Structure 1
Amino acid sequence: MIFFHLFFLFLNNIQKPQVPFHTEDRWIMDSENKRFKLAGVNWYGFEELDYVPAGLEIAHVDKISEKVSLFGFNSVRLPFSIEMILEENAVSDDVVAANPEMKGLRPIEVMDIVIKSLWNQGLVVILDNHSSEAVWYSLENGFWYTDEYPEKAWIEAWEIIAERYKDYPAVVGFDLRNELRNGATWGGSKETDWRGAAIRAGEAILKIDPSKLIIVEGINYASDLRGVFDQPIVYSVPNRIVYSIHDYSWFHPDFQSYQEMKKGFDYLWGFVLNEGQSWTAPVWIGEFGTCSNDPNCVKESSVSGSWFLNFTRYLSEKDIDWAYWPLNGTMANGETRTYGALDWYGILDQSWNKPSLPALLERLQEIQ
């Protein structure tokens, strides 16, 4: 398999990325002003009921981090909830059974360990506010605030995170909120204006730590950046803004061919990558994924497989940064999830030790 060609790189000391990062036109750059292409995975669970990433009851965090790096990925998106950040009680022993050093710790202290473990393998981290409460994100209202966690609480949570991780080299960026929808707008009234909220939160973060990338997702489930054409985000600290898009096979069923997909994406968000424009900035695909429980999941013979091959072709041709959803071999404990069950989109299998579908991993390695 392709991933074994990387094995000998891990026999010696792992080279760490040159951080912090910044942006230059449409590119993410390291501290030596060299392009750093984010090619990563999502590892979910901090945002769910147990406040920890799935898999820690099965495998040690260092083994999971090592696997991510061995597979050739260089970054991890960690979703979290505001509730998790503020939780003062210790996590349950059973959900960190393979990590005894995590027993008795608060969720955010577990996050510290996870981030350090990933960094020890040369991986950088993007923290993603997936939800306010510890629920599957789609059960909330689709905005950056809720009745229990108004905008003030959302920004205060980000300030806590910015202060805590300002000296962590692994943490290179903050994804302000997952998949704005249900009436969120780019501009307009304050109650719906996601752009305005992202500016307020980003400025609060940059006041504490001006070195982080601020990642702002598009509206309509992070599928639409058309508002950037007329109203790009500009922060007081330059070279910080990265926009983010999500896509899955069911997002655009009208895209029946690669040419239709390319035309549609160029219109919805691909134009942001056109160099030298007033709106130009990096676009990071924060989520995309296909099923991994059947070989047809990555073949043209299935709807999901055809979409996946076309989408990864677009990423490759445009040289776009990305993070696959998800790494998880098993599900976290959540209202729409079955704890410990196979995650049928996951890169890892239920053992958290090997790929669920080698052909899926190989395709991702081709575009790293």
Structure 2
Amino acid sequence: MNSQRKIQALLLAMICLVCKPVYSQHAGLVPPLHTEGHQILDASENPVRLTSVNWYGFDQKEYVAGGLDHAPLATIVEQIRQIGVNSVRLPWANETLERNPLVPDYAVAANPQFKGKHAMEVMDAVIAALEHAHVMVILDNHVSRADWCCSESDGNGLWYNHEYPEANWLADWQTIAKRYRNQKWVVGADLRNELRNGAAWGGTDPKLDWHAAAERGGRAVLAANPRLLVIVEGPEYSTNFAGFDKLPVNLPVPYRLVYSPHAYYAAEQTPSSFEELKEVYEARATFLLHTEPGVPLWVGEFGTCQTLDCGAEADWFRQFVRLLKENPQISWSYWPLNGTQSTGVSRKYDAIESFGLLSADYKHIAAPKIVELLRTIEGQPPR
């Protein structure tokens, strides 16, 4: 090879390095998804681990995804790609879907194309942008009435309340599942976030029987879009899946069910070692990895302080990341992507989101140590 060709080859190699796509262990995945035993598979029968971030806002009082007041939509989507995940859990409220209010101008200040638009029009655009970037979307019915979640007194602890009865919940799921039926990168329906207020898995009280309600919800979703994964959380803020093996969810379409535990640090339950942490989660959720019929697990929420300088909580987070790393069949979703807060109970609009991965301007990663830890779960190369 002569010197000129050597130079051309070197320049080509440099261009290829610059243009190299963001690392993804599922760069060639083909949605929609389905399940087989404890695994999630794509349309080509390749195993898929959902690696996700939570991007809240359509469930909050601005009725719009966080950050559109600070950065163009394309910029935020690019930050999601830079983090290296393959999917977004997108919370929404029944109020947002049913009222479909005009979004406040201040909440979309960096995206003037959304001024004067209704909430669901903006959701359409957000999902289209994620789909264009080949980022999968899991729709999450987070709350009934739009507000910050979660407590025993917020009125959103069950899958229904006085303002939004079960009939609305079922109808709303059919509406939103139909709305995105032709967008194959919308791959999942998380039926309801963090059941509490006495919700039980089975039992004699139909008003609290989340198992029966989840089957009704799953049927409603699959009637509207039989290609979606149906994702079911558990009682006690989705931390306790005891009994799920003995009373599984039955759906009319096979190979669609996923269970979704959540995990956060609790000072009163701090494990003294990694072995103790494994025992705690084995008793409450990961035992399902060893039961039949097999159902995949997706940890729909876990997170910690943005700076990883919060003592025992940060230690817990590192141990939980290790648990995920040692169990590659468990999918996961970090809470949250957002760099700033939305308006809500105990919240202040535009204040720093203390767990958030992105900066307050939504143009940079503000939690590089957390992002690097998340990348280690998948064995991603450092950047």
Indicate whether the TM-score tops 0.5. yes
Determine the structure 1 residue equivalent to 2:34: 22
For 2:122 and 2:361, the matched residues in 1 are separated by 21
Determine the structure 2 residue equivalent to 1:173: 188
Computing the radius of gyration from Cα coordinates, the structure with the larger value is 2
The gaps in structure 2 that reach 5 residues or longer are: 1-15, 379-383
Determine the structure 1 residue equivalent to 2:162: 147
Deviations 1:137-158 (A, max 9, x none): 3212511110111111111110
Determine the structure 2 residue equivalent to 1:222: 238
SS in 1 for 2:138: strand
**Paired residue for 2:298, among 284, 308, 317?**
284
Question: What is the deviation of 1:364?
Answer: 0.7
Aligned ranges 1:93-172 → 2 under 5 Å: 93-138=105-150, 139-172=154-187
Determine the structure 2 residue equivalent to 1:324: 334
Question: What is the deviation of 1:351?
Answer: 1.8
The gaps in structure 1 that reach 5 residues or longer are: none
**Paired residue for 1:9, among 14, 20, 29?**
20
Q: What's the C-alpha RMSD, in Å, of the aligned pairs?
A: 1.8
Q: Percent identity?
A: 42
TM-score by length of 2: 0.89
Aligned ranges 1:172-191 → 2 under 5 Å: 172-188=187-203, 189-191=205-207
Matched, 1:333 2:343: yes
- The answer (yes or no) to whether the contact 1:81–1:130 under 8 Å persists in 2 is yes
For 1:158 and 1:259, the matched residues in 2 are separated by 40
Q: Residues 195 and 59 from structure 1, CA distance in 2 versus in 1: closer, same or farther, beyond 3 angstroms?
A: same
**Paired residue for 2:85, among 53, 60, 73?**
73
For 1:339 and 1:72, the matched residues in 2 are separated by 28
Determine the structure 1 residue equivalent to 2:59: 47
Determine the structure 2 residue equivalent to 1:60: 72
Deviations 1:81-112 (A, max 9, x none): 00001124321111111112212211111101
Kindly tell me the number of residue pairs found equivalent between the two proteins: 355
Amino acid aligned to 1:211: R
Q: Residues 289 and 165 from structure 1, CA distance in 2 versus in 1: closer, same or farther, beyond 3 angstroms?
A: same
Q: Residues 54 and 62 from structure 1, CA distance in 2 versus in 1: closer, same or farther, beyond 3 angstroms?
A: same
- The answer (yes or no) to whether the contact 2:32–2:227 under 8 Å persists in 1 is yes
Q: Residues 364 and 255 from structure 1, CA distance in 2 versus in 1: closer, same or farther, beyond 3 angstroms?
A: same
Determine the structure 2 residue equivalent to 1:210: 226
For 2:269 and 2:324, the matched residues in 1 are separated by 19
- The answer (yes or no) to whether the contact 2:77–2:133 under 8 Å persists in 1 is yes
Determine the structure 2 residue equivalent to 1:197: 213
Q: Residues 256 and 140 from structure 1, CA distance in 2 versus in 1: closer, same or farther, beyond 3 angstroms?
A: farther
For 1:203 and 1:295, the matched residues in 2 are separated by 41
Deviations 1:32-78 (A, max 9, x none): 00011111100111101110011101001111001101221110001
SS in 1 for 2:75: helix
**Paired residue for 2:262, among 231, 243, 246?**
246
Question: What is the deviation of 1:133?
Answer: 0.4
For 1:359 and 1:248, the matched residues in 2 are separated by 18
Deviations 1:229-266 (A, max 9, x none): 21011211000000001111117614222111101111
- The answer (yes or no) to whether the contact 1:42–1:287 under 8 Å persists in 2 is yes
- The answer (yes or no) to whether the contact 2:33–2:187 under 8 Å persists in 1 is yes
For 1:278 and 1:342, the matched residues in 2 are separated by 44
SS in 1 for 2:232: strand
- The answer (yes or no) to whether the contact 1:143–1:181 under 8 Å persists in 2 is yes
Amino acid aligned to 2:361: S
Runs of 4+ in 1 over 4 A off after TM superposition: none
> Higher mean Cα deviation, 338-347 or 82-91?
82-91
Question: What is the deviation of 1:15?
Answer: 5.9
For 2:187 and 2:267, the matched residues in 1 are separated by 29
Amino acid aligned to 2:105: D
> Higher mean Cα deviation, 342-351 or 134-143?
134-143
For 1:7 and 1:266, the matched residues in 2 are separated by 43
Q: Residues 179 and 165 from structure 1, CA distance in 2 versus in 1: closer, same or farther, beyond 3 angstroms?
A: same
Amino acid aligned to 2:117: L
Determine the structure 1 residue equivalent to 2:309: 296
TM-score by length of 1: 0.93
